[in-house]
Chain A
Amino acid sequence: MMRGGQGAERAPVLQFTNCRILRGGTLLREDLWVRGGRVLDPEKLFFEERRVADEQRDCGGCILAPGFIDVQMNGGFGVDFSRATEDVGSGVALVAQRILSHGVTSFCPTLVTSPSEVYHKVLPQIPVKSGGPHGAGVLGVHLEGPFISPEKRGAHPEAHIRSFEVNAFHDLLATYGTLDNVRIVTLAPELGRSHEVIQALTAQDICVSLGHSVAHLQAAEEAVQSGATFITHLFNAMLPFHHRDPGIVGLLTSDRLPPGRCIFYGMIADGIHTNPAALRIAHRAHPQGLVLITDAVPALGLGNGHHTLGQMEVEVEGLVACIAGTKTLCGSIAPMDVCVRHFLQATGCSVEAALEAASLHPAQLLGLEKSKGTLDFGADADFVVLDDALHVLATYISGQADSQSQPNPTSASGDSKSQLNPHPPLPRA
């Protein structure tokens, strides 16, 4: 859908009033102005264009935060992004639509370690796509594997794990087929020739993430020096922290990172994948780099029972999803807003910090912070309306509400004011 452009100045001006907006790291008592799908500077509108709002919407004192960005989602609602079908697009669209009620306005569909044919078939079917009332935007695909450590494969199938030691980047490109729609690649830096690969991917503006790895701290630091900027689900599928070799976890406090570089790290804050004490240690060590992810599996939103993930079978009970017949966790089924609330409660951090971990930080990771993850003037008007306990009441993309939370258009005074209605409650797993 079009944002900005020449027609934007004729687009109606929306003013969201009676709210607190997250801006500059603080919750400010300010109105949010939107036009043409972007956040508008009302002072400029007043003095330069001499215009007022065409429509006002009363937010009932709620919090307006930038929409959440999930950079690691394997599927959900029965859809498995790693399954090669003829119509992957429909599955992506379904997930994109359903996660709006979790407050997610942009995401990276994630593919786990798969055979080469799967990448060749699936990747061209998941183009980068803007969000709208129909669903969250697709920022690009996250390829988690197959260039990982067999020892730390977690739920990934051993048979399809590969290395690129023969032809480095060419091996990688041959495996995936194309890098056109790819945004993030998770790999293990201890694999031979990883530095060339990391440099080549970084040169193409693809974010390189370290994960499913037995790398020691030095190898991890070298990978960051080569261009890696992210850590895939910190603590999980990597060597545990050791006081003489902190491993990848040590990147959070490393003094060997390139100057000015911030290392980001994904955390699954579902209350299961990470002990709250570990979550707090990471958060306190490096709060600016924490990125909340769901690592959601297709079972998200489906309920207890047997479901499929990649080439594996999984068993769901309550909020726990394991490889069938084992106790190995294979991804979370906690929606993003549940993760944000749990993160807030477990770390005792401020509401602003919890919200930034799910919005600003992933945007910064992907270099999108001018248009996503913030409510600064000119940013895309992707935002979520929350109550004080951070429950999602409505989700807006490009200034338009998703179809399940249309505001009530009438008001007693007769001018264009409307009240927001809460989402109807959705069944939780």
Chain B
Amino acid sequence: MRLVILDNYDLASEWAAKYICNRIIQFKPGQNRYFTLGLPTGSTPLGCYKKLIEYHKSGDLSFKYVKTFNMDEYVGLPRNHPESYHSYMWNNFFKHIDIDPNNAHILDGNAADLQAECDAFERKIEEAGGIDLFVGGIGPDGHIAFNEPGSSLVSRTRLKTLAMDTILANAKYFDGDLSKVPTMALTVGVGTVMDAREVMILITGAHKAFALYKAIEEGVNHMWTVSAFQQHPRTIFVCDEDATLELRVKTVKYFKGLMHVHNKLVDPLYSMKEGK
């Protein structure tokens, strides 16, 4: 893996956005050649989305030939509910960029047949040629997407019941009222994300530090599903200092020492403008 450690949340968000920007541009997307991006929700990627929007508004990055697949969506929450992941993606990303609505895929938590919806989502990913870069986060309980502790590490897109840790973590988005938090969600599986050609996990904040430790310094374990990516050929963890608080000093020093290598991935920052 690459472990990229930045001083603070803003710098981590910016590094991640630059990386995504460069990957898309260097791919040279076009009419018959779409870049497929897996996308997360939550508070961690907000800074990254803001930077990507900036690059778009300045004319340096277009999403015209990008297809996106979100990781998850609550079950039973109306699509236009302010806390649905559809609303999140619209307000924080889609409404500010030039993506074709037909290329923005999010699981439908109100589908009549939820498993069929999940199967169809897997098929759409396959039809799109697989995911080039899957961006994700990590829950305080070490989950990726809604693959709660105990999820199979080879799982596919399916319906999951949320763990108490997750419900507690999400309560802040529902006026602190536990009874209002959805208890089920549709989510891509660990296996689904593992199929991506490249994976980038964003982890910021001290409250995620223990999960990061479990994910990268302990063994592969279905109780900490992010640990599965130890067996993926191309994973990048992008963190701020606080997220590394539970890691061994040796680990942190090693990867910080590699920053000059990591930074070559984002510097120079490419642009889609002519002559750049």
Binding site for B on A (CB under 8 A): 31, 41-47, 49-52
Contact = CB atoms under 8 A, between A and B. Distances in A.
B128 to A, nearest CB: 16
A43 B100 contact: no
Contacts of A42: 90, 95
Contact of A47 (B90, B91, B98, B100): B90
B102 A47 contact: no
A43 B101 contact: no
A47 B95 contact: no
Interface string B64-106: 0000000000000001100000110011001100101110101
A49 B104 CA distance: 12
A31 to B, nearest CB: 8
A188 B267 CA distance: 78
A51 B80 CA distance: 17
Contacts, number: 29
A44 B86 CA distance: 10
A239 to B, nearest CB: 48
B100 A52 contact: yes
Q: Give the most central of A45, A47, A51: most B CB within 10 Å.
A: A47
A349 B101 CA distance: 41
Contacts of B90: 42-43, 46-47
Contacts of A52: 98, 100-101
10 contacts: A43-B87, A43-B90, A43-B91, A46-B90, A46-B94, A46-B95, A47-B90, A49-B101, A50-B102, A52-B101
A45 B90 CA distance: 11
Nearest to B59: A413
Nearest to B86: A47
Q: Is the interface of B mostly helix, strand, loop or mixed?
A: helix
Contacts of A50: 101-102
Identify the interface centre among A41, A42, A43, A45: most chain B CB within 10 Å of its CB. Answer: A43
B95 A43 contact: yes
Contacts of B79: 47
A180 to B, nearest CB: 40
Contacts of A41: 80
Contacts of B87: 43
Nearest to A15: B95
Contacts of B94: 46
A44 B104 CA distance: 13
A51 B87 CA distance: 16
B101 A44 contact: no
Nearest to A49: B101
B80 A43 contact: yes
Interface string B89-131: 0110011001011101010000000000000000000000000
B159 to A, nearest CB: 21
A62 to B, nearest CB: 19
Contacts of B106: 47
A52 B91 CA distance: 15
B95 to A, nearest CB: 6
Given A43-B86, A43-B87, A44-B80, A51 B101 contact: yes
Nearest to A33: B95
A42 B87 CA distance: 11
A46 B80 contact: no
Contacts of B86: 43, 47
A50 B86 CA distance: 13
A327 to B, nearest CB: 57
Contacts of B101: 45-47, 49-52
Nearest to A44: B80
Nearest to B87: A43
A17 to B, nearest CB: 11
Nearest to B90: A43
Contacts of B91: 43
A31 B86 CA distance: 18
Contacts of A43: 80, 86-87, 90-91, 95
A322 to B, nearest CB: 54
B211 to A, nearest CB: 32
Specify which of B79, B87, B100, B101 lies most central, judged by the most chain A CB atoms within 10 Å of its CB: B101
